[in-house]
Amino acid sequence: MKIRIKCKLILVITFLIIVSSLSGCTYLPGRDDIEGTSSDNEITDKDITKEMDQDDDENQVENEGKNNINDLAINKIINNENSIGPEDGTFKEITLVDDKLWYIEDGYISTFDINTKEVERLKKLEGASDNVYNPPDSTYYTGENIWFYNYVYSSKFDMFYGLARYNFNEDKFYEYNDADISPISIVGILETENNLWFSTYGGLEDKSYYLNLENGSIVESDEYVEYFNDVVKNDNFMWFSRFGKGIVQVDNSNKISEFTDNNYLISNRIKNLSFVNNLLWIDWVGGVSVLDISKNKWHHISFEDWQYGDFNLFIEDDSNNLWIIGDENVINLNKSINQDDWETYTWDTNGSESFRRIFDVDIFNDFILVGSDKGLFIVDNRDETRRTILEEERILEIIVKERICFVSTNMGVYELELKQ
């Protein structure tokens, strides 16, 4: 009788093993299945510990050679000898074209060769003050042209911000300071095939213009909008934002459509526009809205009940990455409206890294760089360790090129690189 039971038990176990194999699973009899199972194949606690140690060794080998947050070295390459204090924005705007940084210094359009470390002064801007002050957004690179604007320019009757460009194909500079342009500053700018669209702010009234690139004429135009604070385009549309008045869309047939809080928008107080990944991103006071062009569908992200803490800024960096910056977090949207695609880096600051102003943000290898009024804040996106440098300076712009990063401040320009 005992022999039959034992045989039946063996047959049942054999059957279970065959069924498990056919189903793609592996069946391993446990201690309760068979008494006296051989201990030759048992996995002991020592084996598990040994396996974990091997995994740790493999991870250590994998991380060897990777830079940590303390491997970042910083050197000043351009000094601002005329800095007038924290509010000075002399090096607010620098633009990297190939291996040269372009900027305005002491009234000159200048370049800095990142390989030879040589500075070359290319063009003295007529009427520009020597201790030039560059407000935000003062250079604009389009591939064929690099535009310089919002630099202090003195005329016989007034002081206003100038407009100039350098054409790479022609190797030629153009200045437009004799044109009848409403003074103070340019707030929106976009180069199209034959024109430069721009709008001015701060005179007796805000105005919009287009500049003919072939003959150099500048014409005041209210054909689409009387003024705008930002403008973007794709192959089929142009969008003009008007702070307090919403957005104007113009198609290739000159059909005009208006988006306001009466139809599609949450707010008319539009700050900036970005066109990324076939999506129109709209930065408004209190959140972000997105128009999916392919589906003609709207999405809205309100920060009134924001789960990540206080919302400070929405930024598009030089690589077209889109960011939300809070007082205790950095969120990379990965150019997607799907929050599952977002990468969120959150930390407990205890108030030590709360910023009054954020000027720029970018990714440098495995590090998130946040340029603020309290220095350069660095977060390692692998373990969220943090480091702050240049605490006494305002970090105005960040430009990343492979293993080198350039940081402009009110005191000059620095090179940030990874130690070899």
Per-residue pLDDT of the chain (420 residues; tens, 9 = 90+): 434 434 444 444 444 444 344 333 332 333 233 233 333 334 343 343 344 344 444 444 444 456 788 888 899 998 876 655 555 555 567 899 999 999 888 788 999 999 999 999 999 988 776 665 555 668 899 999 999 988 776 665 566 678 899 999 999 999 987 667 765 688 889 999 889 999 988 766 788 898 999 999 998 888 899 999 999 999 999 999 999 999 999 999 999 999 999 999 999 999 999 999 899 999 998 889 999 999 999 999 888 766 666 666 788 887 888 988 876 677 888 898 888 898 887 665 555 555 667 888 899 988 989 888 889 989 888 887 888 999 988 888 899 988 889 998 888 899 998 876
Interacting residues of 312 by C-beta distance below 8 A, sequence separation 6+: 325, 326, 327, 355, 358
pLDDT at 234: 93
Dihedral angle at the C-alpha atoms of 94, 100, 106, 107, nearest 10 degrees?
Answer: -90
pLDDT at 133: 56
Question: Rg (Cα) of the chain, in Å, rounded?
Answer: 30
pLDDT at 238: 95
| Residue 293 to residue 280: CA distance in whole angstroms | 7
Q: How many residues does the chain have?
A: 420
Which residues partner with 195 through β-bridges?
212
Q: Give pTM, 2 decimals.
A: 0.77
54's enclosing H/E stretch is: helix 45-63
Tokens of 1: 């009788």
pLDDT at 36: 32
Cβ atoms of 330 and 321 within 8 Å: the answer is: no
6's enclosing H/E stretch is: helix 2-22
pLDDT at 84: 55
pLDDT at 309: 60
Coil, helix or strand for 10? Answer: helix
Q: How many CA atoms lie within 13 A of 359 on its CB side?
A: 26
Give the other-Cβ count within 10 Å of 305's Cβ. 5
Cβ atoms of 33 and 13 within 8 Å: the answer is: yes
